[in-house]
Structure 1
Amino acid sequence: MSNQLQDVRRLEGEFADAMNRMYAVGNGLARMRASLEMSDVVETAPSAPNALSLPVTPVTPVTPVSPAVSPPATVPGAPSSAPPGRTEPVRTMAPMPSWWQREGAVTRVLAVAGAVVTLVGIAMLLALAMQQGWFVPELRVALGVALAVALVGGGHVVRGRESSRGRSSAAPVALAATGYAAGYLDVIAVTTVYGWVPRVAGLTIAAAVAVTGLLLARRWSSQLLAVLTVLGATLLAPVVTGELGDEVSLFTVVLSAAALLARGDRGWPMLAVARTIPATGLVLLGIAVTEGDGTPSTLAIAAAAALTGLALVGAVSAGRHHRGDVVGSATLAAATISLLVAFGVHGETLRTTGFALVAVAFAVTLAVTSRSPIGPVPTPLATTVGAISGVSALLAVMSGAPERWVVTGILLTALGYAAAAVTTRSRVTLWVAAGTAVVASVAYLTHPTAYVELGQARDHDATSALFDSLLAGGVAALGAWSVDVVRGIPAHVRRVTRIAALIAGLATSAVAVISVGLLVGDALSATSAGFLAGHALATVLWMLASAWLLLHGLQAESRRALSLRLGLGLAAVSVAKLFLFDLATLDGLWRVLAFIVTGLLLLASGTAYAKALDRTRPPAATT
């Protein structure tokens, strides 16, 4: 018995020693955590004891007087059992520092301000030297070149010193950008002020200066320097030439291509904006100036097409680098506007051909970039490409098709995009098809509105109405099919599309029947009778479709409710047309036939539906 008691005491001593070691480890961990999380801990209640460091109280092993063992103290930092009176630190988000407290903010502001002030001073110095007659012109230009080179060289020196010390600031970029701006001022002096070199040579010199700036920006990985270099050269071009026109447009294309080669727009969205938007504006201004003279140049089309191609390449490159890129889509849309305007100011043949070529080119681009190895590109870019294709196709139809066949051309466009959506099973193509289908639907309304009254129907082109009705029905069918085959479309959208396609099919079929009636009536010199017969047959056709829906829905339980609703709704529409339109419009035998046939179809539909419903019910159990 005494040996067992000694063993118990020995175990208690070892337990107390282990607890002391655990307390020491816990306090050490708490102190380490406090030092690591000091930046996150904002405030601790002043009245609470220190939660990160608790004194260690050694446990003295005593002889237990009962088998009950006191619960051990909690190790500091354990989340599940905090000691009484302990207050956890309150953690809050650190407040955002002011802009001037952010790293490098003050340096950038001072660098940009210094660059602007220095550039203004250089410009004022050149102007003053010209006014006062200081030095000869050759020396002034030479001093300007030397100053520009010195500023760029100073940027290299500052950059080298910062790199050796492991620092980085905006000062080297500001110095280099100021130097290139001074170089542009020299280009203006030798071309516009003194006239020493032709305008084309001046643009070439400016392009060379810009290319060196872009190469330096790529070497330094400085988007700011690239943007300032491109903007300076682009805005300089009209000053060098003294006017807007083809020379400026072609210069902006060369500059945009150089900027694209410098980086490919990957990770530099502001460079994409700087090399595209101002250039597009200059091309548009050049088109406006030449078009005002009545002699628009085809070089504007080449410049706009090149800008559009460069914007497309840059957008695809940026999209592959960053999936969330939207700047490329915006720059592509802006560049395409200049291309469409360039085609729009020319004659009808070139305008229509140009719009059609743009539509086809962007349709092919959408197909190529939607799959590997180039794609898939981000959804915003794919949507922009598809939208440009659709808009260009509609513009081609409206500008080149004869007035009689404008609606037909729009419907053919919508039909083509719907077929492409079925073939490619692309949601972007489906959206483009839906947009063109909406435009086609609005254009098609000219036919049914003309068949409301006999006088308008006489003057309407029944042949084009019949052909357009067949095309519209095809658009509705292919549209519903494309929604069914494209993945990711919600079920309720598919259901609504089927209903819309059914309604469109019924409307187009009615217009087609009335068109046939008018054509037959014209051939028989009985246009009025053909018009009335067409309306009567359209009402009967709707009733037949209603009966088919009611019987067809009984064949499958999944579509029974929808078919029943559609069938009853169509029957109600047919009866409403019978009483509200046919009763007032039709006369004589056609009115009688319409009412009798519709009534008999209603009775037959009800009887057939009742019999079909009985056949679908399970047989009653026999006893």
Structure 2
Amino acid sequence: MTTSIDPALVARLSGEFTSIAGDFTTLGGRLSTLGRDLEALHRQMRKVTAQRSEPGISGASAPTAEQGSAAPDTTERAAPQSPATTPDAAGTSGVVASRGAGAPAGGPVPAPPGPAPWGVPAAAAPQPPWPVPPPQPHSRYAGAYPIYRNRPPVPPPVPPGRGPAGPAAPRTPWWQREGVISRLLAVAGVAVTLIGVVMLLVLAAQAGIFGPVPRVVAGAAFSAALVGAGVRVYRRTGGRVGGVALAATGFAGAYLDVIATTTVYGWLHPVPGFAVALGVAAAGVGLAVQWRSQALAVLVVAGAAVLAPFVSTELSLLAFLIVLQLACVPVQYRYDWPFLHLVRTVPAVLATQIAIVAAAIGTDDPGRKVLVLVAAVAVAAVGLAGTVVVVRHRPGDIVATLTCALATTPLLAAAALFDRPVATAISAGYAVVLLALAATALLPRDIARVPGHTATVAAVAGSFALLETLWGVTTEGTLAMGLFLVAACYLGIAGRTRNRVAAALGAGSAALGGLAFLVVAGPGTLSTEWIAVRELSAGTAASAIAGLAVVVVALWGAGRFAAPRHPGGSTDFRATLLWVGGSVAALYLVTATTVSLGVVSGIADGFVVGHSIATIVWMAGALAALLYGLRRLGGGTPTAAKIALGSGLLVTAAALAKLFLFDLATLDGLIRVTAFLVVGVLLLIAGTRYARAFAESGAHRDDSGSAAPR
């Protein structure tokens, strides 16, 4: 039996083997591409790990689900046309090649889940037969790289020193917080124990329970025992609060014992008594410095200062409070303890102020007034010296400056206890000291300079002392002159140094001087002849001249403070208002000067002559302002020209109004004729010069325009 091989079958099997060989060849290519893709993925993973280890990368915001779905289009637009230029050129180009010409003959291979290949529309891209999960919204690479699609969301980084976010922990009640109850009990124990010491020293003496010696000895022994116990407790674990409380109670009790020994029993002369008290206070604050405990120093000073009035109410009490104020100055120089600043200053200031009020109301004893004055001087001296020492060491200590302001007040009030000459001398000396301290802030070198806040307090206090001095040395007619002179000095300093504090003090003095001047030379006085003859004097004329000096200095200083920066700006508007106000004040002061001089001269119709001269001076000033403005207009400074021309026109209108509304009805005879003639001539000069200036300006513009084309 002969068996023949079908040639068609052999051809078909040969084609199948050929197809299988092609498939293996394609599979080899795909495995090679997969290897390159895995190598590119490895490089990318290392790069991402390095980026996340850098600060700020892990905190970047992740795209949302919608952003992840739109990522393929964004990647396609942002990527360059040549895949070989990208960081993952090897892997990406291999994927594109495998999806292109390298597809098997048997049909397209399903693409892995992910975005469409570059250059292929999303609708035409092959879709996998299995469901694809949506990209995670917290994956930064969900749209660009398919392998990151199913990556779990990355939690946001936790800042250093914080735990994971969670519900807020409930707040601990204040009475359960560490150290609160112990401190409250310690303060209460200090207060109660010191009250017991006061009862031992005073109430027991009133009841006759113990003799003087047992009371004093018991108080001293009890205080020493408390200090010793405080030192012993402080050295133990957790004994800081108890040790501070016990030691503070002991030192405050010892201080009260010294006060009682000096003032109640009289066993110590006041001078040795003050020295012993200073030693006790210095020991207390010295231990506070050693322990670095502001609480100990505050409790010692506060306990002694608050309970001292219950031991004695004599004037020597002021000295014991000043001793406390003095004993804490070295501590303030070394440590910034603001509460100690206040505790050491406020009791001495309040007690001295109360003593001043009591001496002014209830006694005529000059010796007592002198003692109160000495106490006020001591409070001010300790306050000023201590503040200067502290702020030169720590320029930013605002509390020290506040205590300085408090310490300056008793001496300002103590001057009222004495007659006018003595009070004036006290105020004058105090003003010199305070203003000299304030002037150190203007020194060019840091030799004796104090900070600006301290200089401001000294300047304000010195200004009050200077007002007291002016009140003592002037009369009602010359008070305005003194205030004007002070204002001119302040404004001159402000214009020279651009110091706003000096400018404010000058403006305040000028305002007070203006009020004082209006009391003497008000509008009713200047417009009524019989009142002017009775009220006006040479002092009024001198005050008016001083007021004119203030106006001139104020305008000069204002020009240095804020020069016009650009035409039409807010600075121009403020300068215009300032010049208008200065013009109005100058017109009034000129009128007061001429009328006062006319009345004082004693000539017939002096009041009328003064008003006619005032009108002429008004018009002369207006002409000067107009000429100045026209000159500035041609010199390239339009802002100054505008202000000068506006002021000149305003004064011109005021002069004409005065001429027709007041002078025409008041003046008579030759005086009226002279006023009208002089004012008319000045008006003609002003109009002629005004017209010529604008004509010259127009001709200059025409010449410039005709020469421009050439």
CA offsets per residue over residues 568-614 of structure 1, 9 Å max, x none? 22222222223332233333443444345434544443332122111
Tell me how far 1:357 sits from its aligned partner: 1.2
Is it true that 1:607 corresponds to 2:688 in the alignment? yes
Bigger Cα Rg? 2
Q: Quote the Cα distance in structure 1 between the aligned partners of 2:694 and 2:170.
A: 71
Q: 1:102 to 1:186 in 2, by over 3 A?
A: same
Aligned to 1:17: 42
After the TM superposition, which residues 239-258 of structure 1 pair with which residues of structure 2 at under 5 Å, given as runs?
239-240=310-311, 242-245=312-315, 247-258=316-327
Is it true that 1:283 corresponds to 2:283 in the alignment? no
Tell me how far 1:244 sits from its aligned partner: 2.9
Q: 1:304 to 1:370 in 2, by over 3 A?
A: farther
Tell me how far 1:383 sits from its aligned partner: 1.8
Aligned to 1:66: 96
**In structure 2, which of residues 279, 293, 296 is the aligned counterpart of residue 208 of structure 1?**
279
Say how many residue pairs are matched: 584
After the TM superposition, which residues 534-573 of structure 1 pair with which residues of structure 2 at under 5 Å, given as runs?
534-556=610-632, 557-573=638-654
Tell me how far 1:277 sits from its aligned partner: 2.0
Tell me how far 1:504 sits from its aligned partner: 2.8
| TM-score normalised by the chain length of structure 2 | 0.71
Q: Give the conservation status (yes or no) of the 8 Å contact 1:265–1:317.
A: no
Aligned to 2:468: 395
Q: Give the conservation status (yes or no) of the 8 Å contact 1:181–1:232.
A: yes
Is it true that 1:150 corresponds to 2:225 in the alignment? yes
Aligned to 2:295: 224
Segments of structure 2 that go 5 or more residues without pairing to the other structure are 1-24, 60-90, 100-111, 116-134, 158-164, 565-569, 633-637
**1:554 aligned counterpart, secondary structure:** helix
Q: Quote the Cα distance in structure 2 between the aligned partners of 1:552 and 1:127.
A: 81
Tell me how far 1:615 sits from its aligned partner: 1.0
CA offsets per residue over residues 496-536 of structure 1, 9 Å max, x none? 4444334333332222222333344x1x3x0xx22112212
**In structure 2, which of residues 679, 682, 688 is the aligned counterpart of residue 598 of structure 1?**
679
Is it true that 1:583 corresponds to 2:664 in the alignment? yes
Q: 1:19 to 1:208 in 2, by over 3 A?
A: same
After the TM superposition, which residues 309-348 of structure 1 pair with which residues of structure 2 at under 5 Å, given as runs?
309-320=381-392, 325-348=397-420
Q: Give the conservation status (yes or no) of the 8 Å contact 2:484–2:550.
A: yes
Q: Give the conservation status (yes or no) of the 8 Å contact 2:440–2:450.
A: no
Q: Give the conservation status (yes or no) of the 8 Å contact 1:192–1:239.
A: no
Q: Give the conservation status (yes or no) of the 8 Å contact 1:22–1:75.
A: no
Is it true that 1:460 corresponds to 2:539 in the alignment? no
**In structure 2, which of residues 486, 509, 514 is the aligned counterpart of residue 441 of structure 1?**
514
Q: 1:307 to 1:596 in 2, by over 3 A?
A: same
CA offsets per residue over residues 382-436 of structure 1, 9 Å max, x none? 2221112222112111112344433332233223333433454433223222222
Q: 1:186 to 1:316 in 2, by over 3 A?
A: closer
Q: Quote the Cα distance in structure 2 between the aligned partners of 1:443 and 1:195.
A: 53
The one-letter amino acid of 2:484's match is L
**In structure 2, which of residues 155, 180, 184 is the aligned counterpart of residue 105 of structure 1?**
180
Q: 1:582 to 1:428 in 2, by over 3 A?
A: same
Q: 1:209 to 1:26 in 2, by over 3 A?
A: same
Q: 1:516 to 1:551 in 2, by over 3 A?
A: same
CA offsets per residue over residues 453-489 of structure 1, 9 Å max, x none? 1001112343222222222211222222233345899
Q: Quote the Cα distance in structure 2 between the aligned partners of 1:511 and 1:94.
A: 76
Aligned to 1:47: none
After the TM superposition, which residues 107-126 of structure 1 pair with which residues of structure 2 at under 5 Å, given as runs?
107-120=182-195
Aligned to 1:513: 594
**1:244 aligned counterpart, secondary structure:** coil
**2:423 aligned counterpart, secondary structure:** helix
Q: Percent identity?
A: 34
Q: Give the conservation status (yes or no) of the 8 Å contact 2:52–2:58.
A: no
The one-letter amino acid of 1:432's match is L
Q: Give the conservation status (yes or no) of the 8 Å contact 1:227–1:271.
A: yes
**In structure 2, which of residues 305, 320, 328 is the aligned counterpart of residue 259 of structure 1?**
328
After the TM superposition, which residues 421-500 of structure 1 pair with which residues of structure 2 at under 5 Å, given as runs?
421-445=494-518, 446-449=520-523, 450-486=525-561, 491=571, 496-500=577-581
**1:373 aligned counterpart, secondary structure:** coil
Q: Quote the Cα distance in structure 2 between the aligned partners of 1:268 and 1:193.
A: 33
Q: Quote the Cα distance in structure 2 between the aligned partners of 1:4 and 1:375.
A: 90
CA offsets per residue over residues 36-92 of structure 1, 9 Å max, x none? xxxxxxxxxxxxxxxxxxxxxxxxx999643599689999799x9999977869899
Q: Give the conservation status (yes or no) of the 8 Å contact 1:218–1:262.
A: yes
**In structure 2, which of residues 452, 456, 478 is the aligned counterpart of residue 383 of structure 1?**
456
Is it true that 1:173 corresponds to 2:244 in the alignment? yes
Q: Give the conservation status (yes or no) of the 8 Å contact 1:394–1:413.
A: no
Q: Give the conservation status (yes or no) of the 8 Å contact 1:244–1:286.
A: no
Q: Quote the Cα distance in structure 2 between the aligned partners of 1:382 and 1:353.
A: 23
Q: Give the conservation status (yes or no) of the 8 Å contact 1:26–1:76.
A: no
Q: Quote the Cα distance in structure 1 between the aligned partners of 2:532 and 2:512.
A: 23
Which stretch shows the higher mean deviation, 448-457 or 406-415?
A: 406-415
Q: Quote the Cα distance in structure 2 between the aligned partners of 1:335 and 1:353.
A: 20
Q: Give the conservation status (yes or no) of the 8 Å contact 1:325–1:378.
A: no
Q: Quote the Cα distance in structure 1 between the aligned partners of 2:429 and 2:476.
A: 21
Which stretch shows the higher mean deviation, 539-548 or 131-140?
A: 131-140
Aligned to 1:415: 488
**2:624 aligned counterpart, secondary structure:** helix
Q: Quote the Cα distance in structure 1 between the aligned partners of 2:187 and 2:140.
A: 50
Q: Quote the Cα distance in structure 2 between the aligned partners of 1:613 and 1:159.
A: 90
Q: 1:193 to 1:362 in 2, by over 3 A?
A: closer
Q: 1:137 to 1:484 in 2, by over 3 A?
A: same
Tell me how far 1:177 sits from its aligned partner: 1.5
Q: 1:394 to 1:102 in 2, by over 3 A?
A: same
Q: 1:420 to 1:222 in 2, by over 3 A?
A: same
Q: 1:231 to 1:369 in 2, by over 3 A?
A: farther
Q: Quote the Cα distance in structure 1 between the aligned partners of 2:459 and 2:167.
A: 47
Is it true that 1:234 corresponds to 2:305 in the alignment? yes
Tell me how far 1:265 sits from its aligned partner: 8.2
Q: Give the conservation status (yes or no) of the 8 Å contact 2:401–2:454.
A: yes
Aligned to 2:364: 294
Tell me how far 1:266 sits from its aligned partner: 5.3
Tell me how far 1:209 sits from its aligned partner: 1.8
The one-letter amino acid of 1:442's match is L
CA offsets per residue over residues 312-342 of structure 1, 9 Å max, x none? 2333344445555443333223322211222
**2:631 aligned counterpart, secondary structure:** coil
CA offsets per residue over residues 334-381 of structure 1, 9 Å max, x none? 322211222221122221111111111112111124444256544332
Q: Give the conservation status (yes or no) of the 8 Å contact 1:546–1:567.
A: yes
Which stretch shows the higher mean deviation, 508-517 or 353-362?
A: 508-517
Aligned to 2:86: none
Q: Quote the Cα distance in structure 2 between the aligned partners of 1:92 and 1:311.
A: 52
Q: 1:376 to 1:501 in 2, by over 3 A?
A: farther
**1:161 aligned counterpart, secondary structure:** coil
Q: Quote the Cα distance in structure 2 between the aligned partners of 1:91 and 1:380.
A: 47
RMSD (Å), alpha carbons: 4.2
| TM-score normalised by the chain length of structure 1 | 0.80
Q: Quote the Cα distance in structure 2 between the aligned partners of 1:365 and 1:132.
A: 52
Q: 1:224 to 1:461 in 2, by over 3 A?
A: same
